[in-house]
Structure 1
Amino acid sequence: MPTPAATPTDPTVRPGRLPNGELRRQVAVYLDEAPTDTFTAGEIARALSRSSGAVANALSVLAAHGEAVLVSERPARYRATPATGHLASLPSAPARATTPRPPTPVPSVPSDAAPCGPTAPSGPVAPATAPAPMPGAACGPHDAPVTGPVARPNGQLYHPRSVAGVPDVTALRKLRAAGVPALLYGPPGTGKTSVVEAAFGDLITVPGDGDTTVADLVGEYTQTPEGRYLFVHGPLVRAMREGRPLFVDDATLIPPNVLATLYPAMDGRRQVIVKANGGEVVDAADGFYVVAGHNPGVHGAVLSDALSSRFSAQIQVSSDYDLAVQLKIDRRAVRAARNLATRQRRGEVGWAPQLRELIAFDRIAAVLGIEAAAGNLVGVAPEADREIVATVVRDAFGAEHPPLALGNRI
């Protein structure tokens, strides 16, 4: 088992904070010391006495740069690559001192750009009390006009869509700058996670499910390799302190009493009390923002009035079938998907292929052929809808395509 990477001990470093890039280097060191083993973010976080959310983000960045590889998704396990050793061999980043620095002048914001914060100054120099710019909102690399695909953290390109007359990523950044929480709702596979990742480069994500607990949001005590117990703050506290957006994916699968932890952070208080850590009070820094995803058709997903009322902007997300055509996915598959989507809106069928299924169709067709991909499109449909789906696929492709199944022994 790898030994924990060293962390800065300079007394001027704020507890729990590392210089930029240092956590990724430490994670790389940990992976490189056991290059054939696989690890979850939680395992590495416990060894390094760091937040599992922060380690998960570091692993995602490493994987995007080829300095780690994701070998399984549930649970997500990572392994070193040949490039990991290079990053691990770099010296530790210099400690970040906490000596206050004088405020630096902030340039004026153009009148046609979204503000950097709720009260961004309009003059040439910001007063010392002006809020800090929101990273990933409308300042820095994210304030350029969106005119084409936007890269997500995993390197994949997201193709923006229009909402309220502007690209969706621009709309989300403006909502963040204005402090208006947004809820994206729609079927699985329509791109809710993709647009949020494309909009915010400093995003922290919480995957929601029925087993999510308050500790998964605010943190809990974790045993260190030395046998001590250390309180490790969760993604909500990190996002609040660092002024970053928090994406609660599948929020409506999380028990209501757990989701209630978010409410004081989202309203005018912008504060949470961590009871598990002696009543610690955490105030939200400028830039903190909450955006959530909701799949209305998923079993167990309930959008309560309390949750709905806290998301002032609610945006429906459906599949962009025109994008599927631009991606050169077989037009017959797209035609079948459009047909089923129309029937779904009429209440004739409960399921329709989304962009995720069409991309899977394209990949399967490239490997096993069009007939196998068409059969798989029928096979992934829920049992209750399969007969109608099979009919629509037959009409689109001109032949029957039964679900993929094993045949006779070869």
Structure 2
Amino acid sequence: MAQVLAGDDRMTFTVTELAKALGHSGGAVGNACETLVARGEAEQIGASPRRYRATATTAQAAQHTPAPAPPGTSGPPPARKAAPPAAQAGRPDPVIRPNGMAYHPRALAKLPDVEALQKLRTAGVAVLLYGPPGTGKTSLIEAAFPDLVTVAGDGDTTVGDLVGEYTQDPGGGYTFVYGPLITAMQEGRALLLDDATLISPKVLAALYPAMDGRCQIQVKAHKGETITAAEGFYVIAGHNPGVHGAVLTEALSSRFSVQIQVGSDYDLAASLKIQPKAVRIARRLAAAQEAGDVGWAPQLRELIAFQKISDVLGMDAAFANLVGVAPLEDRDTVAHLVSTVTGRPVTALALGRQL
């Protein structure tokens, strides 16, 4: 990839053009492009379609990669790098997400979860991740698919938000701007439907033809244009069962052959050096929630926030905030547990008297 881009640093290339030059799928090429961009070894120009060009460091990166095999041939396998100590011990290295934060893989079917999702994409098996907010569903998907296009679903999401709509241009006319679904289909990218079950079933119906054997959709708003998905196009969804208004319909569920429950990894919270008492409280509340005694437990997101608050405002304020973020119906139970574990009364974080 780097060699193609560095061949003429004045040119820009689309994912499709690079895929044809290299003889690989659009999805694989898109992933490689995003990796180069994240390293500063390529630059993305534009978004619809994405175009890439070389940077000052692309040529240097190309010197450390084997020349691409011509399309239709199988070149020699790349040299296998020695696994780092953590990988040799059976623990995969963290994966850097597009926002620069590290994702620590978890086990899924005897594989690292990132690798398992990538294999399911290659096999064309759609995946639905479900679990409480803050458990890391989106983080996992971002780590697995660097070429991700995301739709943040809610009750107001329209077909136009998925497919596209006419937008007024500077000249006063109107131009049809493709939505994330069309972008992902044309460029062979992964599409995340975040909070998919908050989107109206009538809106989601526009997506279904792209997910079945047809791999096509008709854009009625744009002269009835037919869009065919490029190789690599893949749909993955997130579902928060406890969120008000979230409905997993049979039509939606049937299109996701693999459905994976995601809960908080409290062992990871401990390894991230989050205050042990906070992790202990979260574990106890999670057990109580599973038994039906409470309706809420802190997830990994709340524990990470706890540590940041503790670093800024102090431990007492962090514990008080942990009580305050609990739903009102569970707040007394949470306050009692936090007070028991810390050995002092703790109430919700609040303003005090005037200074």
Q: Give TM-score, length-normalised by structure 2.
A: 0.77
Q: Distance in 2 between matches of 1:224 and 1:95?
A: 25
Provide, for residues 26-71 of structure 1, a one-character-per-residue CA deviation record: whole Å limited to 9, x for no partner.
Answer: xxxxxxxxxxxxxxxxxxxxxxxxxxxxxxxxxxxxxxxxxxxxxx
Match of 1:349 among 279, 282, 294: 294
Provide, for residues 200-254 of structure 1, a one-character-per-residue CA deviation record: whole Å limited to 9, x for no partner.
Answer: 1111011001110000000000001111110000000010010000001000001
Is 1:198 aligned to 2:147, yes or no? Answer: no
Deviation of 1:399 after TM superposition, in Å, equals 1.3
* Aligned equivalent of 2:275: 330
Is 1:223 aligned to 2:160, yes or no? Answer: no
* Aligned equivalent of 1:154: 99
Q: Which has the higher contact order (CA 8 A, sep 6+)?
A: 2
Provide, for residues 92-151 of structure 1, a one-character-per-residue CA deviation record: whole Å limited to 9, x for no partner.
Answer: 85587x999986567xxxxxxxxxxxxxxxxx97649xxxxxxxxxxxxxxxx9821000
Deviation of 1:285 after TM superposition, in Å, equals 0.7
* Aligned equivalent of 1:340: 285
1:362-381 aligned within 5 A: 362-381=307-326
Match of 2:226 among 281, 286, 291: 281
* Aligned equivalent of 2:210: 265
| Aligned residue type for 2:131 | G
Q: Secondary structure at the match of 2:332?
A: helix
* Aligned equivalent of 2:244: 299
Q: Secondary structure at the match of 1:194?
A: helix
Is 1:310 aligned to 2:261, yes or no? Answer: no
Q: Distance in 2 between matches of 1:338 and 1:329?
A: 13
Q: Distance in 1 between matches of 2:265 and 2:18?
A: 49
1:199-214 aligned within 5 A: 199-214=144-159
Q: Secondary structure at the match of 1:290?
A: strand
Q: Secondary structure at the match of 1:272?
A: strand
Q: Distance in 2 between matches of 1:147 and 1:407?
A: 47
1:48-197 aligned within 5 A: 94=12, 127=72, 147-197=92-142
Deviation of 1:397 after TM superposition, in Å, equals 1.1
Unaligned 5+ runs, structure 2: 1-8, 25-68, 74-89
Provide, for residues 267-287 of structure 1, a one-character-per-residue CA deviation record: whole Å limited to 9, x for no partner.
Answer: 111110000001110001110
Match of 2:343 among 398, 401, 406: 398
* Aligned equivalent of 1:386: 331
Is 1:290 aligned to 2:235, yes or no? Answer: yes
Provide, for residues 351-391 of structure 1, a one-character-per-residue CA deviation record: whole Å limited to 9, x for no partner.
Answer: 00000000111011111111110010000000011111111
Unaligned 5+ runs, structure 1: 1-90, 107-123, 129-144
Aligned positions, number: 287
Q: Give TM-score, length-normalised by structure 1.
A: 0.67
Q: Distance in 2 between matches of 1:285 and 1:406?
A: 56
Q: Distance in 2 between matches of 1:95 and 1:170?
A: 28
Q: Distance in 1 between matches of 2:187 and 2:204?
A: 21
| Aligned residue type for 1:163 | L
| Aligned residue type for 2:344 | A
Report the CA distance shift for 1:146/1:170 in structure 2 as closer, same or farther (over 3 A). Answer: farther
* Aligned equivalent of 2:177: 232
Q: Secondary structure at the match of 1:353?
A: coil
Question: Which aligned runs of 4 or more in structure 1 are off by greater than 6 angstroms?
Answer: 98-103
| Aligned residue type for 1:264 | P
Q: Secondary structure at the match of 2:254?
A: helix
Q: Distance in 1 between matches of 2:251 and 2:19?
A: 42
Deviation of 1:409 after TM superposition, in Å, equals 1.1
Q: Distance in 2 between matches of 1:287 and 1:223?
A: 32
Report the CA distance shift for 1:239/1:146 in structure 2 as closer, same or farther (over 3 A). Answer: farther
1:146–1:170 CA contact under 8 A, matched in 2: no
* Aligned equivalent of 1:14: none
Q: Distance in 1 between matches of 2:237 and 2:17?
A: 36
Q: Distance in 1 between matches of 2:219 and 2:190?
A: 19
Q: Alignment RMSD, CA only?
A: 2.4
Deviation of 1:407 after TM superposition, in Å, equals 1.4
Q: Distance in 1 between matches of 2:17 and 2:263?
A: 49
Q: Distance in 1 between matches of 2:121 and 2:225?
A: 26
